[in-house]
Amino acid sequence: MVGSATVLADDGFVSLFNGKNLDGWKGDPSLWSVEDGALTGQTDGKIPHNKFLIWDGTVGDFELRLKFRLEGNNNSGVQYRSAHLKDAGEWVVGGYQADIHPSPNYIGMLYDERGRGIIAERGQKVVLTADGKKEVSPTGTPVEAVDLTQWHELTIICQGNHLVHKLDGVVTVDITDGDEKNAEASGVLALQVHAGPAMKAQFKDIKLKQLAQATAQKKPAKKKAVDLAKPNWIWLQENGEPAQKVFFRKEITVKGAIAAARLYGTADDRMIVFVDGQQVVDHGNWSEPVAVDVTKLIDREVPEGKHV
């Protein structure tokens, strides 16, 4: 087991939090502390974007159990198999999230932070096909209000592309993520404080168990980020034709392994993006930028390390 962890019992679970300090976790010290034996994230309503406390390790196939509570008119969440997006802002994470939200249909749902958005709401069983289409059926879970100011137990179970969330032992969502472009197999574990109104989120009794064929491992020490260019709009000339088609091509060179690669962008009105000849984006809503995990494509060996 990686990161800062203490063996609890013969059932294979380890503790990720010592109840005393932030050892084994990294985040904004102005937002995170230990209060009454719980990891505590607290905001004043002025943070510019969602921020995360990141555990010093990665997870693949696992079962996570923790207790949480939330105060304030806002929400929180637990990230897993996620990416630390250092170029997107301070302490930014993107990927799977078990949502801690006051809305009855959102508590315990699966949200893809900085990615696909809501994948499954509470009470839904979702199968995502290879092309990302959803097949939705009910789980039979009652969708009732939950008092989040009280302590509740959240359980996350991941094996391969099968993901299950439980709230106080009751399944909230059941997902089979067969999306070939966007499914996430491994990554960081993190806790969220959300932009917006002032809030306070607390977490304790955080226990992790690796499952059969788990991929939990240390963070790659030598992987590095590439292409640190800032995003910007590219405008055509003012007298351009309506519905005009334009083409852009960019070549990047990657030397060695990478930790993660995500493609971000938007276009007015539509964009289709290819990486090394494989279509990865077909997006038609300029007001909502798209984020796509292209790690598998960029991490492949290509002649001279050049990707297009």
For 152-190, what is each residue's pLDDT tens digit? 999 999 999 999 999 999 999 999 999 999 999 999 999
The sign one gets for the Cα dihedral 141, 208, 54, 203 is positive
Q: Say how many domains are in the chain.
A: 2
Tell me: do 122 and 180 sit in the same domain.
Answer: yes
110 part of a folded domain: yes
Neighbouring residues of 285: CB distance < 8 A, sequence distance ≥ 6: 266
Tell me: do 138 and 238 sit in the same domain.
Answer: no
Work out the percent of the chain whose per-residue pLDDT is above 90. 62
Question: What tokens were used for 195?
Answer: 């932009």
Tell me: do 167 and 225 sit in the same domain.
Answer: no
pLDDT of residue 3: 47
Tell me: do 137 and 22 sit in the same domain.
Answer: yes
Question: Tell me, what amino acid is at 221?
Answer: A
150 contacts 198 by C-beta, under 8 angstroms? no
Of 184, 210, 236, which closes a domain? 210
pLDDT in tens, 43-85: 999 999 999 999 999 999 999 999 999 999 999 999 999 999 9
Tell me: do 30 and 119 sit in the same domain.
Answer: yes
User: pTM for this structure?
Assistant: 0.68
Tally Cβ neighbours within 10 Å of residue 41.
25
